[in-house]
Chain A
Amino acid sequence: MSIVECINVKKTYQQGKVEVKALRGVSLSIDEGGFVAVAGPSGSGKTTMLNMMGGLDSPDSGSVVVDEHDFDKMNQSELASLRLHRVGFVFQAYNLIPVLSAVENVEFVMLLQGVSQAERRERAKAILDDVGLEGKYDRRPAELSGGQQQRVAVARAIVSDPAIVLADEPTANLDSKTGQGLLDMMKQMNEKKKVTFIFSTHDHMVMDYARRLVQLRDGLVVDDQVKKG
């Protein structure tokens, strides 16, 4: 079953007097439980593609359907609600809230969802244990390494059992060993919790981990391969 369905998605940005065609008609269907890398050089449109899937931006034409929700028919408030409950984000720059501790950062999404305090704390700690940060609950982001911060970001992304997790170049700011550890953890989450992971990347390590590799170039899909085994 498709968890993400993009049909002929086009997006053009205006940068001063220059028009930048980020997506020129991308059609892509991703099944539930997938571990997919959307790869390509800088400017190929991969981040834009992820933004479309997460409802952070809207296409000029084409449609995006995530978890049977057609973004075209939704207003900003409904999109926000969908992101809150069904989409997790992992950003290149981690984007943790600096004044909150690790466990509070993870709890934040559940706070917005209206989960009770006791349950929030219990689930947040459990997910931090899963991502290998047991005992570091009360550390602020400034007290964590880059890899640890990214693990907190992953924990925040998956704590609310989203339908998809969109990770935009999650290993870009990490060394290879840390990045590999992160990818191992995310793969475990994918297999254990059946969460669909979609990466935008130009890191070959991420591409190697992915079970499906979609190649973008100049806003178009040029290759789409499912790895055997």
Chain B
Amino acid sequence: MTAVIVGVWSMIFIGALMRGVEAQFVRNGISTLTGHIQVHHKGYRNDPAIENSMTEPDVVGTALEKHLPPGAGWTFRVRVDAVASNARHSSGVTLVGIDPPREARVSFIGQAVTEGRYLKPDEAYGIVVGNALLEKFETKMGRKLVLMSQGTDREIASRAFRIVGIFRAELEATEKQFAFVTMPAAQQMLKLGNGISEMSILLPNDQDVPQVASALRTELPAAEYEVHTWRELLPLVNAYLSLYDTFIFLWFLVVFIAMGFGIVNTTLMAVFERIREFGLLKALGMKPWWIIKEVLTESFLILVIGMGIGNILGLLTVFALSGSGIDLSSFAAGAEYVGMSRVIYPVMHAKDMAMANLVVIVLGLLVSLYPAAKAARFTPVEALAHT
């Protein structure tokens, strides 16, 4: 029974951790500027250059207002590759020009500023950078940072910004990559006029994504615009998700194989210890099939009680860790490489719990068939002679 309890507990707990990692992959991906759906100028994804900006954002805005469900948020951005530099360092970054109030409702940046302040709507020279970038540049709040990119006139466009806020993100890579300025500041610097690079949409319900994306594709001229869902924009995350159900099932199978040895061993030992009893039962007239049923019933009871306790332990562990999570800071570098956050929060899925219990009960009874058949095959004479 201990094997069953530990096995079920680990299936549920580790399964919940894996689902937590999965949920964080998705959450990080979506909140780190991707959103549920993005709209770009045709060709932008293949070549995210300034030339592929949307010059009539109002057209897209109208389509969004028409098709977005209540509770959805959307924003527009200028987004270009740039070089950030100060007196000591320079580094490639992604310059993101945002509408601060709209952006706060769609992506992580609205709640991520931990020092200084968030951007004001028409701020011309303020910049918000990540803490990791700040440390890399060995600079601090209030200091200047020069951003340089290519403008629409194909000339170098640059501007000096003053650091007004510092943000922290789940991934250090995010802190090093993005530098936020206001939309007007970016448009002016790049001589973009009213042009924007992308529209990003956050829906209240993940299940609505395909339907809304389809509606936008129908509404917007395909020759000028392209609409992508987060699964298309984050193919790595999408690939992980499609494999996750298989990973979890394989994990359950591996745990069960280990647990199965315990079940077979215990049941077989119990059968051999009771050879005389089975011989007596056969002598009294118990049919072989009834003996199999008896042994399977005993296994079933062990499995059910073990599963009950294992489920309770699993749920308690998940509940206990749901607040604090598990801190993987010591593995942070490796975790970040695959897009995992430093702290993992377990997430219970009812179907995982159901599958774990189903695997245990079905396979548990299957592996118990061997000891049951063994018990049924003792001849009464041999069994009663056993000491």
A interface list, Cβ under 8 A from B: 51, 54, 56-57, 76-77, 80-85, 87, 89, 91, 95, 97, 108-109, 112-113, 156
Contacts and interface: CB of A to CB of B under 8 A. Distances in A.
Contacts of B287: 76-77, 80-81
Nearest to B291: A80
Given A76-B288, A81-B285, A97-B277, A91 B384 contact: yes
Query: 8 closest Cβ contacts across the A-B interface?
Result: A84-B285, A83-B285, A56-B380, A80-B287, A57-B381, A95-B280, A77-B287, A56-B381
Q: Which has the most chain A C-beta neighbours within 10 Å: B280, B285, B287, B380?
A: B285
Interface of B: 276-277, 280, 282-290, 379-381, 384
A109 B284 contact: yes
Contacts of B286: 80, 84, 112
B288 A80 contact: yes
Contacts of B277: 97
Contacts of A84: 284-286
21 contacts: A51-B381, A54-B283, A56-B381, A76-B287, A76-B288, A77-B287, A80-B285, A80-B288, A81-B285, A82-B285, A83-B285, A85-B285, A89-B283, A89-B284, A95-B283, A108-B284, A109-B285, A112-B285, A112-B286, A113-B285, A156-B284
A88 B51 CA distance: 98
A85 B285 CA distance: 8
Contact of B284 (A51, A76, A77, A83): A83
Contacts of A89: 283-284
B292 to A, nearest CB: 12
A46 to B, nearest CB: 14
Nearest to A85: B285
Contacts of B381: 51, 56-57
A56 B284 contact: no
Q: Is the interface of B mostly helix, strand, loop or mixed?
A: helix
B55 to A, nearest CB: 86
Q: Is the interface of A mostly helix, strand, loop or mixed?
A: helix
B289 to A, nearest CB: 7
B290 to A, nearest CB: 8
B289 A77 contact: yes
Given A56-B379, A91-B384, A83 B280 contact: no
A65 to B, nearest CB: 18
Nearest to A57: B381
Contacts of B283: 54, 56, 83, 89, 95
Contacts of B290: 112
A83 to B, nearest CB: 4
A77 B288 contact: yes
Contacts of A85: 285
Contact of B280 (A82, A87, A97): A97
Contacts of B284: 83-84, 89, 108-109, 112, 156
A216 B239 CA distance: 81
Contact of A95 (B285, B288, B289, B384): B384
A80 B289 CA distance: 11
